[in-house]
Each structure stands twice: as C-alpha cells, then as structure tokens.
C-alpha cells in the first residue's frame, strides 16, 4: 500500500535551487511539512513564501552541510517545529571537473565534505529519531555516475559512489529497524549544477559541452523522489536507457574505457 505523505515532515538539503527546490515544492503539495536547508538564505526564504502562500507548511534553516552540527540542527529543527522527522533528502552537492593530478588536495577534500559527509551527517542525525520511532525514510541524491568512474569527474563520481555504497548497505541494515533507504540516480539535469561546476573547475570542458537538450528537468527528478516516498524502493533511476548502458559498462570495462578515451580526445584535455 502506498504511503500517505500528508502531515509527514521532510528535511531537504540543497533546497535553494534545482532538484532540492523542485522536490520541496512537490513534497509540500503532497501535504508534507518541509524544512528547506542550504546556504543561500534569500533563496530559501522565497521558497518558504511560495509554499506557505499555497497553503503548505515550510521553514528554512541556513546550513553548510559540511558542518556536522549544521546537519544536526536541520534535523532537530524539523522535530522541534513539526513534531517528528519522517524523511530526509540528502541532496546538497556540486561537481568539479579536471584531471586528478591537477586537482588540489583542498578541492578533493572539500567535495567529499559536502557531497559525502554532508549526506552521512544528515542521515545519521535523522537516525537518532527514526530508529526509536521504527519508521522513516532516508533518500540520498546520488547520480548515474555513481556506478562509473567518469574521467575528469573522478572526485565527483567517487563521492557519489561512496554515497551509493553506504545507501545500499544501510538499506539492508536498517530494514529490520523500520527505516527505508533509497538512492536516487539522476542523469544530466537542467539546474545550476553546470554553472557551479564551470565556475569551480580549472578545465570545465565536459560541462561546457554537454548539450542542454540532453538534460532532464528538475521537476522530473522531483516527481521520481516523491513517487519513491509514496512507494519506497532501493534505487531510483530517471533514465532506464542510462541504467542499462552503465550496467553494461561494468561488464565490458575495456570497451567502455576506449569509448571514454575517444570522447576525452575530442574534448582536448
Ligand atoms: N544536475 C545534474 O545534472 C545532476 C545529475 C545527477 C545528480 N545530481 C545531484 O543532484 C543534487 C542537486 O544538484 P542540482 O542539480 O539541483 O544542482 P544545484 O541547482 O546547483 O543545487 C545544488 C544545491 O546544493 C546546495 N549546496 C551546495 N553546497 C552546499 C553546502 N556546502 N551546504 C549546503 N547546501 C549546499 C546549493 O545551495 P546553496 O548554494 O544555497 O548552499 C543548492 O541548493 C546534487 O547532489 C548533485 O550532485 C545533479
């Protein structure tokens, strides 16, 4: 039976734009009280205004997910304001592009702090409430590249792979305790992600050359997330074709490497 989301509170990180914002709006429309978390407070305030104007319940919490205390505060505020935390969507994240040997130690560590540790901190803070309640749903915004070490996106792919491995293990560990864990694997999505990656990368060849026509909308991903909240499943893919292609690439890695080398030559790294 589908889960009735009405009145079930959710905390979403990275809710100031893109997938997180679209998901927050859709969750509110499904009757969920929403806590929107990110660093840009003005964006969060606009989103809260939009949700409450439509009769929904929402509050904003300014947070940098790299700070464990901020993630704890997001979850504690959800419980304080809305009485419990039913779900968290660990969605905050960004990408950087460039050869591994030219990536600074600072950049490597920072992307893990935000994409990986940010998700872990949010999930672990939520579990303090979900396990005693024997109920809850943790969703992590991974990526289709979580299953493949994408050249020039190695740090990003690795953070998403780490997130995915943890999700998979936690899914099994937590099922007997009444908590569900799902990983979401979007393909290229039309959000600020590409602008941020271009700004943060010394050599943004791939992000600059990905055709906007190949990108799905943030609303498509948000719909998949809400569908997963209603009918929980372990992995959510927003493109069956990509899922098949990436599955195949793990069976024939040599062939995949040759195709990726050809693509990299065209991008002139
Ligand atoms: N777009 C794609 O093609 C794509 C594909 C697969 C997976 N994803 C994943 O989807 C997730 C959402 O990305 P998006 O596409 O929606 O891009 P986006 O529009 O750039 O959104 C990223 C969100 O993360 C937040 N964020 C970044 N660093 C943060 C930090 N240190 N603390 C708190 N919040 C932080 C940003 O808010 P502030 O700047 O206000 O803090 C923003 O709300 C990411 O995890 C990304 O890896 C994206």
Cα 149 to ligand 1 centre (Å): 20
Q: What average pLDDT does range 244-255 have in this prediction?
A: 91
Residue nearest to atom 41 of ligand 1 (CA): 39
Q: Is the CB–ligand 1 distance for residue 155 below 6 Å? A: no
Does residue 162 lie in a domain region? yes
Does residue 70 lie in a domain region? yes
**What pLDDT, on a 0 to 100 scale, did the predictor assign at position 158?**
98
Does residue 5 lie in a domain region? no
Q: What percent of the chain has pLDDT over 70?
A: 97
Q: Residue 173 — very low, low, confident or very high, per pLDDT cuts 50/70/90?
A: very high
Enzyme catalytic residues: 156
Does residue 169 lie in a domain region? yes
Instruction: Tell me 216's DSSP state.
Output: B
> How far apart (Å, rounded) are the C-alpha atoms in residues 213 and 156?
22
Tell me the range of 93-102, 112-121, 199-208 where mean pLDDT is highest: 112-121
The domain total for the chain is 1
Q: Are 71 and 122 in contact (CB under 8 A)?
A: yes
Structure tokens at 105: 């130690």
Residue nearest to atom 30 of ligand 1 (CA): 64
Q: Which of 15-24, 89-98, 231-240, 259-268 has the lowest mean pLDDT?
A: 259-268
Q: Domain of 244: which CATH number?
A: 3.40.50.720
* pTM assigned to the model: 0.96
Q: In degrees rounded to 5, what are phi and psi of residue 6?
A: -60, 125
Structure tokens at 139: 């969703």
Q: Which residues, in sequence order, are bridge partners of residue 253?
A: none
Q: Give the CA radius of gyration of the chain.
A: 18
Residue 265 burial (10 A CB sphere; 0-12, 13-18, 19+): exposed
Does residue 122 lie in a domain region? yes
Q: Which residues, in sequence order, are bridge partners of residue 51?
A: none
Structure tokens at 95: 């990408």
Q: What average pLDDT does range 114-142 have in this prediction?
A: 98
Q: Residue 23 — very low, low, confident or very high, per pLDDT cuts 50/70/90?
A: very high
Q: Is the CB–ligand 1 distance for residue 94 below 6 Å? A: yes
What domain range includes position 60?
Answer: 10-267
Cα 135 to ligand 1 centre (Å): 27
Q: Is the CB–ligand 1 distance for residue 66 below 6 Å? A: yes
Does residue 1 lie in a domain region? no
Cα 24 to ligand 1 centre (Å): 13
pLDDT exceeds 90 at position 1: no
Q: What is the pLDDT of residues 48-88, one digit of tens each?
A: 999 999 999 999 999 999 999 999 999 999 999 999 999 99
Distance of CA 18 to the CA centre of its chain: 10
Q: Are 205 and 192 in contact (CB under 8 A)?
A: no
pLDDT exceeds 80 at position 105: yes
Does residue 3 lie in a domain region? no
Q: Is the CB–ligand 1 distance for residue 143 below 6 Å? A: yes
**What pLDDT, on a 0 to 100 scale, did the predictor assign at position 224?**
98
pLDDT exceeds 80 at position 267: no
Q: Are 181 and 234 in contact (CB under 8 A)?
A: yes
Q: Is the CB–ligand 1 distance for residue 186 below 6 Å? A: yes
Tell me what the pLDDT averaged over the chain comes to.
94
Distance of CA 191 to the CA centre of its chain: 13
Q: What is the pLDDT of residues 197-230, one digit of tens each?
A: 989 887 777 776 666 677 899 999 999 999 999 9
Distance of CA 15 to the CA centre of its chain: 10
Does residue 16 lie in a domain region? yes
Q: Is the CB–ligand 1 distance for residue 146 below 6 Å? A: no
pLDDT exceeds 90 at position 122: yes
Cα 14 to ligand 1 centre (Å): 5
Say how many C-beta atoms besides its own lie within 10 A of residue 267's C-beta.
14
């Amino acid at each position: 039976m589908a889960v009735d989301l009405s009145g079930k509170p959710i905390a979403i990180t990275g809710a100031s734009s893109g997938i997180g914002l679209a998901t927050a709006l859709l969750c509110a429309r499904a009757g969920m009280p929403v806590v929107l978390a990110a660093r840009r407070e003005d964006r969060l305030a606009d989103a809260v205004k939009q949700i409450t104007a439509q009769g929904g319940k929402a509050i904003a919490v300014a947070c940098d997910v790299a700070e464990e205390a901020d993630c704890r505060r997001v979850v504690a505020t959800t419980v304080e304001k809305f009485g419990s935390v039913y779900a968290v969507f660990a969605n905050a994240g960004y990408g950087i592009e460039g050869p591994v040997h030219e990536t600074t130690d600072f950049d490597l560590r920072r992307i893990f702090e935000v994409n990986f540790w940010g998700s872990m901190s949010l999930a672990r803070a939520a579990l303090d409430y979900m396990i005693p309640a024997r109920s809850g749903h943790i969703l992590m915004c991974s990526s289709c590249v979580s299953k493949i070490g994408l050249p020039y996106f190695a740090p990003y792919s690795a953070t998403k792979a780490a997130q995915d491995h943890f999700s998979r293990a936690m899914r099994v560990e937590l099922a007997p305790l009444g908590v569900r864990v799902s990983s979401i694997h979007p393909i290229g999505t039309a959000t600020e992600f590409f602008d941020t990656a271009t700004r943060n990368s010394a050599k943004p060849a791939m992000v600059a050359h990905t055709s906007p026509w190949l990108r799905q909308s943030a609303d498509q991903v948000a719909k998949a997330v809400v569908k997963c909240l209603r009918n929980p499943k372990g992995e959510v893919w927003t493109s069956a074709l990509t899922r098949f292609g990436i599955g195949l690439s793990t069976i024939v890695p040599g062939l995949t490497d040759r195709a990726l080398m050809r693509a990299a030559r065209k991008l002139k790294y």
